Structure formats: structure tokens, C-alpha cells
Structure 1
Amino acid sequence: MTDRSEMFNRLKGLIEPFNKKGVEVTEATTFAGDLEWDSLTVMDFVAEVEDSFDIVISMNLQAEIENVGHLVDAVKKLTD
């Protein structure tokens, strides 16, 4: 089990290579609005998260994830 801050830091590290605009990443950072990711970038990032944590994030769950905090909660739930 990983605590929430460790999970955030691990995910933040995975975001960095995709953060072309150099946006400061917080739990409130949105993927579409703040990071300005297109659908291809989102799919590449989701694949990276799934591989890193050995999980599957369903399309339904992906649709609910709007910001980094939501992602932290989702991955934590899938890995606990």
C-alpha cells in the first residue's frame, strides 16, 4: 500500500515527460485544460500509468478523471 502523497509524487513523475508546456502539476491540474493534452497524449499517458502500476483503467473510469487528484484516487483504489 502506498500513501496518497507517494502516489501523487509517482504519478507526477510519469506526467513530466508529457508536460510539454512546463505546467506546475498539482492535484487540481487538469489534463485537457491545464496540460492541454489531446486524446492521443491521454491514451499514451494512460498506457504508461497502466504499465507502471500493472493495472487497467477502464474507459468509463477514464471519463471520470478530470484532474491529477482524481487520477491519484483512481490509481490508489485500483492498487489497494
Structure 2
Amino acid sequence: MKLMKYLLILMLPTLLFCEKIYDTQFSKENRAAIKNKKIKCRWVCDKKIYTEQKISEAISFYKNSKYYKFDKKGF
């Protein structure tokens, strides 16, 4: 039990040091870009367009596939 305490005491500083590696430093330009509403809007719009493009590519893949057939049925 004492050995575990000693190991924990020895390993704790290394764990705390390793956590700092993943912290990112923001520059003034990055902070300004984060606060800019136009950039946020552009990012959201690009993300929506990208997902719509992926969906349309998937639909065209299944439409052009010889193993899948789409039937037009009414509601």
C-alpha cells in the first residue's frame, strides 16, 4: 500500500505536466476570428453545404448502382 502511494506521488507531476501539452495558445488574430460573427456564419454555411453535398453523393451512388433500385411510390 505504501508503494502505491509513493508511485502515485512520483507519477502525479508527470501527469500534470502531460496535460499542458494539449493546451493551445491563441494569438490575437485567432481570438478576433473566434469573436467575428461573419466567420462563424461562413463556417456554419460551409458545414451545411458539405453535409448536403455528401448526402447528394450518397444518393447518386445508390441511384447509379445496379444492386439498388428506387421505385417512385405515392404517399
> Which of these two proteins has the greater Rg computed from alpha carbons?
2
* TM-score between the two structures when normalised by the length of structure 1: 0.23
Q: Which has the higher contact order (CA 8 A, sep 6+)?
A: 1
* TM-score between the two structures when normalised by the length of structure 2: 0.25
Greater per-residue helix proportion = 2
